[in-house]
Each structure stands twice: as C-alpha cells, then as structure tokens.
Amino acid sequence: MYWYIDALKHYADFRDVAHRRAFWMFMLINLIISVAIIIIELATDHPGWLDALYSIATLIPLIALMTRRLRDTGLPLYSWLVLLIPVIGPLLMLYFLCLPSQPRAQLTTHTGVL
C-alpha cells in the first residue's frame, strides 16, 4: 500500500524517476481497487459511475508515474508517442515499462545531479 500512497502523494511529479517495483505495485493495487469497485457496482446494480470517477481521479497520478518510469529506463519522453500506433503502441509501451532501470537514471533530481 506504501507504493500506491506514495504515487498519489507525488501525483504532479514528472521530473523524478520511478523504479520498476514502485510502478508495478501501484498498478497492482490500482487493479485490485478497480476490481473491488466493479464488484460493488455489479452487486448494487449501478455499474459504471464509481469506477469512472475512480479512473478519472487516478489518471494524472498514473501519467506522472508512467513518465517517471520512462525516465528511469533511460528512454526519452517522446516515447509516449508510441501510444499513437494502433494495436502495437500499447504493447510497445508495456515493453518500455518493463525495462530495467538504467544506471544514470538511479540519481534523482532532488540531489541536483540530473
């Protein structure tokens, strides 16, 4: 739960890096929460609204975390453009997000080194 709360605290931080574990733990907890919301919606016969609100609320933190993750892999930020490629783009982005951290990306911007 630490990784999820940490990502929400740094929802507007696009300059730092996010390591693989931090990104995927956020994604796991986000998925668990979404599934729980969907189950609640189906049980109460009101599907769609609560999950849509949750998705909108976590959209900016997710984009910030993905940007920090791309920076951690050493890829340029225009790597986001692969999402414009139909079908293959999201698969390429998934591959990029799974790449290991680069040694130069281990330094944070808080130290003023990057």
Domain range annotation of the chain: 2-111
- Convert the pLDDT of each residue in 49-72 to its tens digit: 898 899 999 999 999 999 999 999
Residues near 23 by beta carbon (within 8 Å), at least 6 away in sequence? 65, 66, 68, 69, 97
| Greater pLDDT, 14 or 64 | 64
Res 111: pLDDT: 38
User: Rounded CA gap, 13 and 43, in Å?
Assistant: 37
**pLDDT at position 6 over 50:** yes
Res 107: pLDDT: 47
Res 97: pLDDT: 93
Res 109: pLDDT: 47
pLDDT, average across residues 71-75: 90
pLDDT bracket for residue 112 (50, 70, 90): very low
**pLDDT at position 36 over 80:** yes
Judge whether 12 and 67 are in contact, CB under 8 Å: no
| Greater pLDDT, 33 or 109 | 33
pTM of the full structure: 0.79
